[in-house]
């Protein structure tokens, strides 16, 4: 059982993360300092440093939490062993779409962390924690692809393997949202990114040799039901999501 002091430390830790997240999103990474976080929190800078060594540590901590959420979503899907493997991959794309809609700011912070040279400022232990979660998440997708191979639902093409297919799907999902949201494709009359991803996901799965899987009305309803559960998982990690969005 945690003591009152321990609970207060945990609560303050969470408050710092929440306030820093707001500042990073509102003002941008370069405009936020440990001083500005302390001022907003009405804490001394020393109090902030008791929890985090630098602002980069705060961002990595936020990213680790988001990566854990992604892992929990994908793990939930992977554990639904009774489902067709292709349907499981489709559900992973649907979970990704929901994350883009509900936690887009956290994805932006994750992209920031991946693009900035944080490794020189953040302890290896903190960086490794985030990387390990991502590796475990990727392995879940690989396991689903291997399930399809074992069940003869996916016939690998020459020089292909489960890892290549999992990475290809990952790149497809991120690529569509990146290109449609940063203005690169603004001159092209394209549908909403989620519709674009859904359509291209089917083309991708067909192209890698996956057995066709018709999305009947019954299966579409099943996907919708799972999407409700995905929302519940997301809200459990970020209770304020329903108010924010």
Residue 104 and residue 225 in one domain = yes
pLDDT at 245: 33
pLDDT at 241: 41
pLDDT at 120 over 90: no
Residue 176 and residue 225 in one domain = yes
Confidence band of 119 (pLDDT split at 50, 70, 90): confident
pLDDT at 15 over 70: yes
pLDDT at 243: 42
d(CA 103, CA 87) in angstroms, rounded, equals 23
pLDDT at 240 over 80: no
Residue 73 and residue 27 in one domain = no
Per the model's pLDDT, the better-predicted residue between 183 and 243 turns out to be: 183
d(CA 92, CA 76) in angstroms, rounded, equals 10
Residue 48 and residue 70 in one domain = no
Boundary residue ending a domain (52, 72, 87) = 52
Does 217 map to a domain?
yes
Does 73 map to a domain?
yes
Does 57 map to a domain?
no
Residue 3 and residue 89 in one domain = no
Percent of the chain with pLDDT over 90: 76
pLDDT digits (tens, 9 = 90+) for 191-203: 889 999 999 999 9
Residue 28 and residue 68 in one domain = no
Give the bridge partners for 210, in sequence order: 154
pLDDT digits (tens, 9 = 90+) for 35-92: 999 999 999 999 999 999 999 999 999 999 999 999 999 999 999 999 999 999 999 9
Q: Are 234 and 69 in contact (CB under 8 A)?
A: yes
pLDDT at 74: 98
Q: Distance between alpha carbon 18 and the CA centroid of its chain, in Å?
A: 18
The CATH number of the domain holding residue 5 is: 1.10.10.60
- Tell me the average pLDDT across 115-128: 84
- Tell me the average pLDDT across 118-144: 91
pLDDT at 242: 39
Residue 29 and residue 89 in one domain = no
Does 74 map to a domain?
yes
Residue 81 and residue 181 in one domain = yes
Give the chain's domain count.
2
Residue 17 and residue 117 in one domain = no
Residue 143 and residue 25 in one domain = no
- Tell me the average pLDDT across 130-154: 96
pTM of the model: 0.90
Does 15 map to a domain?
yes
The CATH number of the domain holding residue 171 is: 1.10.357
Confidence band of 186 (pLDDT split at 50, 70, 90): low
Does 93 map to a domain?
yes
Does 194 map to a domain?
yes
Q: Are 118 and 100 in contact (CB under 8 A)?
A: no
pLDDT at 184: 61
Of 21-35, 88-102, 226-240, minimum mean pLDDT range: 226-240
- Burial code of 169-200, b = ≥16 C-beta within 10 A, e = fewer? beebbeebbebbeeeeeeeeeeeebbebbbeb
Does 59 map to a domain?
no
Residue 23 and residue 73 in one domain = no
pLDDT at 127: 87
- Domain containing 99: what range? 64-244
Per the model's pLDDT, the better-predicted residue between 172 and 181 turns out to be: 172
Residue 123 and residue 81 in one domain = yes
pLDDT at 222: 97
Under 8 Å CB-to-CB from 72, ≥6 apart: which residues? 233, 237
């Amino acid at each position: 059982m945690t003591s009152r002091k321990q609970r207060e430390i945990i609560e303050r830790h969470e408050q710092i993360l929440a306030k820093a997240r707001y500042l990073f999103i509102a003002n941008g990474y370069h405009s936020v300092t440990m001083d500005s976080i302390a001022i907003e929190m009405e804490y001394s800078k020393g109090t902030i440093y008791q929890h985090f060594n630098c602002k980069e540590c705060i961002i990595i901590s936020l990213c680790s939490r988001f990566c854990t959420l992604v892992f929990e979503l994908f793990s939930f899907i992977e554990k639904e062993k009774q489902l067709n493997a292709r349907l499981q991959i489709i559900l992973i794309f649907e979970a990704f779409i929901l994350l883009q809609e509900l936690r887009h700011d956290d994805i932006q912070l994750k992209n920031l962390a991946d693009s900035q040279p944080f490794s020189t400022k953040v302890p290896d232990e903190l960086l490794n924690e985030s990387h390990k979660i991502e590796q475990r998440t990727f392995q879940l997708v690989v396991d689903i692809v291997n399930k399809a191979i074992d069940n003869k639902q996916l016939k690998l093409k020459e020089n292909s393997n489960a890892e290549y297919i999992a990475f290809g799907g990952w790149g497809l999902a991120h690529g569509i949202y990146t290109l449609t949201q940063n203005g690169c494709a603004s001159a092209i009359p394209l549908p909403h990114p989620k519709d674009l991803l859904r359509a291209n996901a089917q083309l991708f799965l067909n192209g890698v040799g996956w057995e066709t899987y018709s999305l009947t009305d019954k299966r579409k309803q099943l996907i919708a039901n799972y999407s409700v559960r995905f929302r519940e998982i997301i809200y459990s990690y970020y209770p304020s999501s329903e108010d924010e969005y």
